[in-house]
Structure 1
Amino acid sequence: MPPSSSNYYCSLLKHCCETRDLKQVKKLHGLIMKAFIDPETFLLNNIISSYAKLGSIRYAHRVFDKMPQPNVYSWNSILSAYSKLGKVPEMENLFSAMPTRDGVSWNSLISGYAGCGSLDQSVKAYNLMLNDGLWHLNRITLSTMLILASDQGCVYLGQQIHGHVVKFGFGSYVFVGSPLVNMYLRMGMVSSARHAFEEVSEKNVVMYNTLLTGLMRCGKIEDSRRLFYDMRERDSISWTTMITGFAQNGLHEEAIDFFREMRSENLEIDQYTFGSVLTACGGLMALQEGKQVHAYIIRTDYKDNIFVGSALVDMYCKCKSIKSAETVFKRMSCKNVISWTAMLVGYGQNGYSEEAVKIFCDMQNFGIEPDDFTLGSVISSCANLASLEEGTQFHARALVSGLISFLTVSNALVTLYGKCGSIEDSHRLFSEMTFRDEVSWTALVSGYAQFGKADETIRLFETMLKHGLKPDKVTFIGVLAACSRAGLVEKGKQIFESMIKEHGIMPIQDHYTCMIDLFSRAGRLDEARDFIFKMPFGPDAIGEWEEVAKLRKGMRDKGLRKEPGCSWIKYKNQVYIFSADDQSNPFLDRIYSELGKLHEKMIQEGYVPDMNSVLHDVEDSEKIRMLNHHSEKLAIAFGLIFIPPGLPIRVVKNLRVCGDCHNATKYISKITQREILVRDAARFHLFKDGTCSCGDFW
């Protein structure tokens, strides 16, 4: 025979709810109906509540409908079920049919409306409840309304509910005080949050942590620090809040120091603590500290945690330890889009753009869908490679997936087309954007500046300012370079001064270089000289050949090497990289043969090799041979052989184009009647019919 104790079955039903075991609830329901001829209302209410909590509203309603005398608890159980499930019409009908209502009934109705984000209906129900009787009002009602006001950003409602909290004597309760403090902090009303905090008589650690989190979120570092040390009791969340806040506000050393103190307190460290301290290590490029944290993680249960693993990858990438990042990434047993994106971004930030594109393809093969940040990052890598073909494929992917609506993606595409020399496409995409920020404008301004279109660059910059957007250092580099290109000395001086006085941006060496070039090109050499003397740092080594020779000798003596000049070109989804006198390319014989033929035709057209572009003390014949085998010439010859006529040849070079190669490419474009686009470290050069878009200035 089954037991006949109601309490026994209620205990079993409670356990089923905790373990989310609906099947067992149904079995218990059957046993109860066998054990009791006329089950008491208390037991039936527990059955209804169990079905409701497990989302089985149909079974709950079936029991409710068969009850001879349902009480207010019975009604509330069904009403609460409809309110979690968001079934507003059914909830309203049931509420209207209730013979009597209590505070739980009203809370269920208000919570149902709030869960659906219906501010007006929630407020209406709240006011009706107050009219029905103040005895219905409790801490749950007030907390629900405060959370709703916070989520909706409704200051007036929040202040009104705060007034009720004080008026009806709930101000000292932590249960109400915590959401009240959190609401004001989310609305940026720090002083009101502090006032609400002080109103609570018995504050617990949860409430302290709420205020601590909000202060950190608002950047109130010193206030957070004082509150932290005023706390009588601190838990792991308190310490993690401080570490996270320091890291998010750029105070990385403090974050690491607090992590060390937290360890000495023998407190539990979770994934969020590890994630924040690793962010701090990455921000400082503190590789050794990052390795120490990694060693500690290995001894914990978080060594296989996906969140911590992603943070480790990000830390190693920021510390420029790509091999370590790869090792962590490969060892991760489970990876999500955050993990893949961390590795992809790390590749891009460390100059491994080709690897970034490859890992994006690998990610897709594993069935991981990219988010806007992932797609934007891989498009940026395509821009660095000047890989227009792949970039346009990702553009199509953005359109199909709808991710193009995200600024991260659309800004990356504007940059892509600008860096690939398709400035018209860049501008068209910019014009189609429904919303633009400073990055959008800077991307287009920089694109026009790199292409040597001075008037358009300056016009865009001025339009950007009229829209109330704030330019950054990169924006000013582009605009000042454009002023130099157009000989607009006074305009350049005005923009340089406004950068400092109006926008609070301290100039870096690139800004000074643009201004010196601006004065020099205009023949105002005295002003150029004065500008050099005013710089907060010494002039760089450009043109100082004797110093360069000494530097080269010193590098040789120490076994150091400068970054080698190289050029690359993309053909059939493969990047071909060339360096001077390259002997590794499988098409070497055809390339050198093509260059030989071109050289003869160029000489006939009047080309004279620029011997000054060779810095080695060798015979003239050897200098000519060396000039003819520069990396960009090898890449161009490759393009002439393999890229079909009618299509532009796109070459990227990691250093500036030398004078001889620039002159030679003009002749090549005229002889072959091909359009050749070269992007060097400074700008674009579009060679066509024997001329260059830069006007021989770069």
Structure 2
Amino acid sequence: MITLFYQVSKSETSLSSLRFISSFSSFKNPGVFRSRDDDFSNSCNPFQLINHLNQKPKPTIKEIKITHTQCFKVGFTQSDIFVANSLADLYCKSGSMGDALCLFEEIPHPNVVSWNLMISGYNQSLRYEGSWGLFRKMQDLGFEPDRFTYGSVLSACAASRNVHGGEQVYGLVVKNGFFLNGYVRSGMIDVFLKSFCLEEALRVFRDVWCKNVVCWNAIIAGAVRSGENWLALDIFHEMLCGVLMPNSYTFPSVLTACAALGELQFGRGLHGWVVKFGFDEDNFIGTAIVDLYVKCGIVDDALKVFSRMKIHNVVSWTAIISGFVQMEDSVSALEFLKKMKVVGIEINKYTVTSILTACAKPEMKKEASQIHCWILKFGFYSDPTVRDSLINMYSKGGEIDLSEMLFWENDGPKNVDSWAVIISGFAQNHNSERTIEMFCKMCREGLRPEKFCSSSVLSIIESIDMGRQIHGYIFKDALVFDVAVGSALFTMYSKCGSLAEAYKIFKQIHEKDEVSWTSMITGFADHGYPNRALNLLQDMMDAKYRPDQVTIAAILTACSSLPSLWKGKEVHGYALRVGIAKDTVVSGALVNMYSKCRFLTYARRIFESMPRKDLVTWSSLISGYSKNEYVEDSLMLFHKMIFVGLETDAFVISSLLGMTAKLTKLKIGKQLHARIVKVGLDSDPSVGSPLVEMYSKCGNVEESQEVFDTIEQPDLVTWTSMIVGYAQHGKGSEALRVYDLMREKGIKPDLVAFVGVLSACSHNGMVEEGYFHLNSMTQDYGINPGLRHYACMVDLLGRSGRLKEAKTFINNMPIQPDALVWGTLLAACKVHGNVELGKLAAKRVHELEPSDSGTYVSLSNILANEEQWEEVLNVRSSMTDAEVTKETGWSSI
């Protein structure tokens, strides 16, 4: 065998023999080698010496040099190319490239193996420029590279991301006929992939059909690294269709793609193949399967695979811990960390960051402190990723002060990622002032915000002016076209009520994802544009995006706003078809939609079928019953909600109080008031306002005032309820006193508040005050009066007997009077017996609302009071001719 090996080395070597030579150092059996003849003693036989060194795990430089000296003494380094190459290979593997190069330059006639060993040695030493320089020198001296040469130099180009050099080498590959070699082609594919040039890698891959599984593995792995997971699965499918069998290097990449896409069913199929082909004991494949089940939320299956693995490395342990973190099972995550430490697995930074995420909860403060101490003890704190995770853990646990302390504790320069974490922490704690302040500090230090940082800042902005400034800033960095930043930007505009600007940004995003579509649909649905939301859903489905639970819930909100039972049923049918109708979010939205569409039978049926009912769902159904005046059903459901242990919230109480106020059920209202006091909602303005209104409508304005006085910071709605309550009970002076007090508190009145003020003036005959407040709307607050405000003024003038002035006022209105305005004048004419003006007012009402029976009755009563019986008959005859019937009076008593 050694004679054959010697003869091969002396020649230019065939491809098959080169493979044999390149694996020489892996031979461990000393019996394989024999001396070439009997001229050498055993002590100085170079083949035995070299074989002896190859048996050692890592021979020292001293041992290699001793062997080199022995070979030199007997002249083998100059006369035997095999011995010289073997020594050079030993120097390369020991990392002594200087000695290897000196030996290489002493070889009188180096062959292609010699060059290959040196180029490979430079690669092993990470000296890729040396590999490239040696390759060029080889060409200049006229040596013809072989497939191993090309493969090694392409590896150097890939590691150094030298795309231009790689393309030059590949040109020689094509020229010299090595194009079909899978080893060379996989090297060129790797060059492009490591330089993030996936399209060029695909071009090389698809130039000719390749039967080498290495090339397929390289392109699949590259696609996964580039985030093109669907492409990776498509190529894997092509591989199978081409009757190529995957190997142990194929499955980890394909399983990773399935994990990223959440393709559980396909992943299970791959798991079956792994078991069938006997790869289930491969540690890398087992870890990838664990990761797949974890990311798909099937932690039980992940644990089964993990338990069957013979070797558990840090990656598989970390994957299991991450699974528990994903399920928000922090206790199990910490237990597995303890087990991991017991069996002696060395923990890395990825394990630490997963555990920090598990402790990022307010209830895990004690564990968070312990993990922090442990990190300091074992030296993980110096890692920037761990430090950022610590900052994030404390901010999510509500300890934003500790987060900031850790952030400033690092005196060195802070990178963008660290700034993004602390800015996100302030945003999550709803501290908009500090969020923007830290954002500005980061920018002043010359750092450009990345997409995560920009999205965090945009999430807390509530002022459209500030939002536009941030928009301008991120526009300069072209971040606005990123789907995450773009979505945060148009969500900000949507939240600030500027739907036009939000939609403009949305259309500028080239590659929209499900989140961006859903955010825009939600914006339209929540801000009173339900039809736009429905149209956008159709566009989303036309673009081949599948609506998820959040999208469906937003669309059901739009159907509730219309309200459109027919559209709502369509959406319900779609949710049933795709299997998400049982989801808690979707079920709650369906209950809300059917309740608002007054289809309470279906609402109750879905409600009863829900395995878990949240507070929002209970509130929706109770609100539906309340608004439709189902007193018994709403109260029974409210009692049941309390019985199952759910807390009473402001929305439920407001709904019930609204029903109570409408039906003037004072006894029920007082019971609800007692419940409000018991649960501590009596100082909440959102509850106080309907409570004030309830007592007012039930005729107890004094109780309204008492409730009002208990509210710590009444909002505009609560102030308005108090003003309207006094006005309706004829207490104009008290109403105006409350109005003046409201302005002193710095609260600006709105359209509804001015209706209450003008009503107070009307009920108390305060004409001059009425004119003053009407003018104040425009002059002091820039509010244009509406028809209700003008109707209040007409009522005020009519009650005061100034009918002609009221007519002149109507004629001078800047907007066209409606039936309400003329009807108010007609009512005043009835009180004061003004027939002529009454006829005019009735005529105008008839023109605007021909079917209004009240106008005929009012005019008839005016004429009857003046004993104009003939005119009375004419009015009743006109009423008959117009087929208008008077509604029958009824009483609730």
TM range (shorter): 0.5 to 0.7
Tell me whether 1:127 sits opposite 2:402 in the alignment. Answer: no
Query: 1:127-276 alignment to 2 at 5 Å?
Result: 127-131=408-412, 137=415, 139=417, 141-152=418-429, 153-155=431-433, 158=436, 160=438, 164=442, 171=449, 174-175=451-452, 178-179=455-456, 182=459, 188-200=466-478, 203-276=481-554
| Partner residue in 2 for 1:327 | 602
Equivalent of residue 889 in structure 2, options 543, 549, 565: 565
| Partner residue in 1 for 2:797 | 519
Question: Residue 150 of structure 1 contacts residue 184 of structure 1 at CA under 8 Å; is this kept in 2?
Answer: no
| Partner residue in 1 for 2:709 | 431
Query: 1:639-678 alignment to 2 at 5 Å?
Result: none
Question: Residue 79 of structure 1 contacts residue 95 of structure 1 at CA under 8 Å; is this kept in 2?
Answer: no
| Partner residue in 2 for 1:484 | 762
C-alpha separation in 2, matches of 1:467 and 1:316? 41
1:566 maps to a residue whose letter is W
1:533 maps to a residue whose letter is N
Question: Residue 287 of structure 2 contacts residue 315 of structure 2 at CA under 8 Å; is this kept in 1?
Answer: no
* Structure 2 SS opposite 1:219: coil
Q: Going by fraction, where is helix more abundant, 1 or 2? A: 2
Question: Residue 761 of structure 2 contacts residue 769 of structure 2 at CA under 8 Å; is this kept in 1?
Answer: yes
Tell me whether 1:92 sits opposite 2:372 in the alignment. Answer: yes
| Partner residue in 1 for 2:390 | 109
1:220 shift after superposition: 3.2
| Partner residue in 1 for 2:725 | 447
C-alpha separation in 1, matches of 2:460 and 2:770? 48
1:234 shift after superposition: 2.6
1:267 maps to a residue whose letter is Y
C-alpha separation in 2, matches of 1:16 and 1:305? 21
- C-alpha change, 1:558 and 1:266, in structure 2 (3 Å) is farther
Tell me whether 1:399 sits opposite 2:674 in the alignment. Answer: no
Query: 1:568-587 alignment to 2 at 5 Å?
Result: 568=892
Q: Over aligned residues, Cα RMSD in angstroms?
A: 4.3
1:392 shift after superposition: 0.8
1:374 shift after superposition: 0.9
Query: 1:282-681 alignment to 2 at 5 Å?
Result: 282-285=560-563, 300-305=578-583, 307-308=585-586, 310-312=588-590, 314-315=592-593, 321-322=597-598, 324-332=599-607, 333-334=609-610, 336-349=614-627, 356-357=634-635, 360-361=638-639, 369-508=647-786, 510-535=788-813, 536-537=816-817, 539-540=822-823, 542=827, 543=830, 545=857, 547=859, 562-568=886-892, 635=893
1:118 maps to a residue whose letter is E
Question: Residue 484 of structure 1 contacts residue 518 of structure 1 at CA under 8 Å; is this kept in 2?
Answer: yes
Question: Residue 119 of structure 1 contacts residue 148 of structure 1 at CA under 8 Å; is this kept in 2?
Answer: yes
Q: Going by fraction, where is strand more abundant, 1 or 2? A: 1
1:147 maps to a residue whose letter is S
Q: TM-score, with normalisation over the residues of structure 2?
A: 0.54
* Structure 2 SS opposite 1:196: helix
C-alpha separation in 2, matches of 1:91 and 1:177? 30
1:437 shift after superposition: 0.8
Unaligned 5+ residue runs, structure 1?
569-634, 636-698
Question: Residue 185 of structure 1 contacts residue 193 of structure 1 at CA under 8 Å; is this kept in 2?
Answer: no
Question: Residue 174 of structure 1 contacts residue 203 of structure 1 at CA under 8 Å; is this kept in 2?
Answer: no
* Structure 2 SS opposite 1:93: helix
| 243-252 vs 15-24, greater mean Cα deviation | 15-24
- C-alpha change, 1:178 and 1:510, in structure 2 (3 Å) is closer
Question: Residue 357 of structure 1 contacts residue 382 of structure 1 at CA under 8 Å; is this kept in 2?
Answer: no
C-alpha separation in 2, matches of 1:82 and 1:167? 32
C-alpha separation in 1, matches of 2:716 and 2:462? 27
Question: Residue 13 of structure 1 contacts residue 47 of structure 1 at CA under 8 Å; is this kept in 2?
Answer: yes
C-alpha separation in 2, matches of 1:185 and 1:150? 12
Unaligned 5+ residue runs, structure 2?
1-279, 831-837, 839-856, 861-871
- C-alpha change, 1:553 and 1:475, in structure 2 (3 Å) is farther
Give identity over the alignment, percent.
28
| 100-109 vs 429-438, greater mean Cα deviation | 100-109
2:402 maps to a residue whose letter is Q
1:464 shift after superposition: 1.7
C-alpha separation in 2, matches of 1:534 and 1:385? 39
* Structure 2 SS opposite 1:495: helix
Question: Residue 438 of structure 1 contacts residue 471 of structure 1 at CA under 8 Å; is this kept in 2?
Answer: yes
- Which one has more relative contact order, counting CA pairs under 8 Å at least 6 apart? 1
C-alpha separation in 2, matches of 1:43 and 1:316? 47
C-alpha separation in 2, matches of 1:40 and 1:252? 53
1:115 shift after superposition: 2.1
- C-alpha change, 1:106 and 1:552, in structure 2 (3 Å) is farther
- C-alpha change, 1:300 and 1:547, in structure 2 (3 Å) is farther
C-alpha separation in 1, matches of 2:584 and 2:340? 44
- C-alpha change, 1:129 and 1:481, in structure 2 (3 Å) is closer
C-alpha separation in 2, matches of 1:250 and 1:309? 22
| 351-360 vs 467-476, greater mean Cα deviation | 351-360
2:394 maps to a residue whose letter is Y
Question: Residue 177 of structure 1 contacts residue 207 of structure 1 at CA under 8 Å; is this kept in 2?
Answer: yes
| Partner residue in 1 for 2:268 | none
C-alpha separation in 2, matches of 1:445 and 1:42? 67
1:417 maps to a residue whose letter is Y
1:327 maps to a residue whose letter is Y
- C-alpha change, 1:72 and 1:417, in structure 2 (3 Å) is closer
Question: Residue 592 of structure 2 contacts residue 603 of structure 2 at CA under 8 Å; is this kept in 1?
Answer: no
1:378 shift after superposition: 0.2
* Structure 2 SS opposite 1:403: coil
C-alpha separation in 2, matches of 1:529 and 1:50? 76
Question: Residue 758 of structure 2 contacts residue 773 of structure 2 at CA under 8 Å; is this kept in 1?
Answer: yes
1:344 shift after superposition: 3.6
